[in-house]
Structure 1
Amino acid sequence: MLVLVTYDVNTETASGKTRLRKVAKQCVNYGTRVQNSVFECVVDPGQCLLLKSILTDIIDENVDSLRFYYLGKQRNAKVEQIGVCKGVNVDEPLIF
């Protein structure tokens, strides 16, 4: 399924900057960055629960926020891109 993960981490403190890096690193492990704090993740339900648990453990719920948008299996029917596309189509083979 396609899950859009967005986050807003308060970076006014050193610990906030550390949390931001940790959240971004975990999101990179599960998906593709499409904007600064937005990731498209193609995951199964178990991976989604694990990612949610990992991110919830990292953030400070008093000053940070996470949002998960569950877009389902029909990615092309749900996502419209206008302008520069910085993401990678994870449905196609990745050849470097």
Structure 2
Amino acid sequence: MMVLITYDVNTQDSSGKKRLRSVAKQCEKYGQRVQNSVFECSLQPEELVLLKHQLLMIIDQDKDSIRFYNLGKKYQSKIEHYGTKSTYDPEDVLIL
């Protein structure tokens, strides 16, 4: 299933900057960054549970926020893209 993850981490102090980097690194393990604090992640249900847990352990819920948008398996018709950043197919073969 495709999940859109967005976050806003308060970076007014050094601990906030560390949390911001940690959240981004966790999201990079599971998906593709499409905006500064927005990731598209193609996940199995158990991966989503694990990622949510990991991210909630990182953020400070009194200062930060994170949102998970479940776009499901037929997400292609729910996404429109305009502008300069090229798009990608998360279900295509990835060559490293």
TM over 0.5: yes
Q: How does 1:52-63 map to 2 (within 5 A)?
A: 52-63=52-63
- Asked if 2 retains the 8 angstrom alpha-carbon contact of 1:5 and 1:67, the reply is yes
- CA displacement at 1:25 relative to structure 2: 0.1
Q: How does 1:1-96 map to 2 (within 5 A)?
A: 1-95=1-95
Q: What runs of 5+ residues in structure 2 fail to find an aligned partner?
A: none
TM-score, normalised by the number of residues in structure 1:
0.94
- Asked if 2 retains the 8 angstrom alpha-carbon contact of 1:4 and 1:68, the reply is yes
Please, what is the CA RMSD of the aligned residues? 1.2
Give structure 1 regions of 4+ aligned residues with deviation exceeding 6 angstroms.
none
- Asked if 2 retains the 8 angstrom alpha-carbon contact of 1:9 and 1:20, the reply is yes
Q: Return the alpha-carbon distance in structure 2 between the equivalents of residues 86 and 68 of structure 1.
A: 23
Q: Return the alpha-carbon distance in structure 1 between the equivalents of residues 87 and 58 of structure 2.
A: 25
Across the two proteins, how many residue pairs are aligned to each other? 96
- Asked if 2 retains the 8 angstrom alpha-carbon contact of 1:34 and 1:86, the reply is no
- Aligned-residue sequence identity (percent) comes to 54
TM-score, normalised by the number of residues in structure 2:
0.94
Q: What runs of 5+ residues in structure 1 fail to find an aligned partner?
A: none
**What is the one-letter code of the residue matched to 1:90?**
P
